[in-house]
Structure 1
Amino acid sequence: MTEFVLGSVLESVRPRCIAILAVSVLLGGCAGAARIPEDSFYRLEIAAPAIRLPAPALTGVLVVQSGTAAPVYRDRALLYSEPETPARLQRYHYQYWIDTPPQLVQRSLADYLRAAGVATDVVLPEEGIDARYRLRVDIERFEHRRGRAGGEVAVGLRLTLAERASGTLLAQEFLQGDAAVQGNDFSAVAAAYRQALTDLYGRILTRVRALDSTGR
């Protein structure tokens, strides 16, 4: 009698145990499938110019200022556009710069021009140094154009160089730089940005060197 009762109890419990086990396995599988990707962050380090000018092109201190940029370019997320809709920008998920593009460009350009010896010294506004010249950099384009292979990155900068005391405008122009993405991952995209900016900074250096700094 005791064995019969025990057997009946086991038979009634068994289906519920199997059901609970099945639900546990199902939930465990869902949890594994719903793993969220980790965020990735990219630096924008630009190599110093190959040569240093024998003498400064600008006699005095130059301050590099971050200018205007559309709100989407002040976000740290990497941006892209599709070939079919080039006017539409979208954000990559989980892929970020370590700082906003305006800050990255401002600091890397200041470092580049300082290493080139383009002025007596090159500083940032937060250093609080009285500068004779001001170079403002506006970002008008900063995106990855997806396409065949890895696509390309496009960077557009508008530069304004002026003498601070007099307000004399020394140079103002828009520069566009593109670089092909040599790979199919985001590290290759970041490398293409570095290449595009290196080329642009070289052109900026050439432009400043061409200025007649006599009497300045």
Structure 2
Amino acid sequence: MNRLTAILSTFVMLVLMTACGSVPPAPTDRFYRLQPVQVPSAPVALSGAVAVHAFSADSLYAERPIIYSEEASQRQLRQYHYHLWLYPPAQLVRENFLASLGGALNLAGDGQAPNVIDGRIVNLERVLSGRNSTAVVALELSLKTGGRTRLQKTYRAEQRASDDTLGAFAVAMEQALGKIYSEFLADVAQSR
């Protein structure tokens, strides 16, 4: 009986060791950042410096996982488990905004300035459809001068990715943000 118990114990240990060895490794986290985009470099005529307050984002858009939906069911949003923005989206988009518009606005940092820009992420996601995805972004941007609202508008842009990778999606997101920044600058120039 002892010999049978020893054989069964050895067999069970071998099965357990084999099962442990067949588990695939956990996927690697992948982080994505946004590069500055080219926007019209002519400075916008604003009297005084411009402060850009911290952007805000709500719900899923405040979290680092990249959000996606499928074109056929855009009401349902999902998060990738291993594909993350480098920083929370509100910080990521604000830093991209500053880096992209630094030549067009007389930026004063976070301090006091006669002109203040506030931003809120309304939409920042990947829409899957067929072979390539689309970057969809919407930002609510406002400009106050001397405490008075000079401009407040929600800007929306979409950009098709060049292929189905998340790297191409990040580039498409940069391009979509560039469209928003250009439209915002045009509106600021006309909002006297």
TM-score bucket of the superposed structures, by smaller chain: 0.7 to 0.9
Pairing 1:42-191 to 2, within 5 Å after superposition: 42-49=32-39, 51-53=40-42, 56-116=44-104, 118=105, 121-125=106-110, 129-163=111-145, 165=146, 167-191=147-171
Unaligned runs of 5+ in 1: 1-10
Distance 2:44 2:173 in 1: 28
Once the 2 structures are TM-superposed, how far is the Cα of residue 45 of structure 1 from its aligned partner? 1.2
The aligned amino acid for 1:64 is V
- Indicate the RMSD between aligned Cα atoms, in angstroms: 2.5
Task: Measure, in 2, the Cα distance between the counterparts of 1:28 and 1:130.
Answer: 59
- Partner secondary structure for residue 179 of structure 1: strand
Q: What SS is found at the alignment partner of 1:151?
A: strand
Which residue is 1:19 aligned to?
Answer: 11
Letter in 2 for 1:113: L
| Distance of 1:196 and 1:48 partners within structure 2 | 12
Paired position in structure 2 for 1:197 = 177
Unaligned runs of 5+ in 2: none
Please give the secondary structure, in 1, of the residue aligned with 2:83: strand
Deviation at 1:52, TM superposition (A): 2.6
Distance in 2, matches of 1:18 and 1:70, equals: 55
Match of 1:40 in 2: 30
> Shift in Å at residue 71 of structure 1?
2.0
Q: TM-score, normalized by length of structure 2?
A: 0.87
SS at match of 1:146: strand
Between Structure 1 and Structure 2, the one with more helix by share is 1
In structure 2, what is the Cα distance between the partners aligned to 1:107 and 1:24? Answer: 50
Q: Report the CA distance between 1:168 and its aligned residue.
A: 1.8
| SS class of match (1:91) | strand
Deviations 1:150-169 (A, max 9, x none): 22111011111111x3x222
**Larger Rg: 1 or 2?**
1
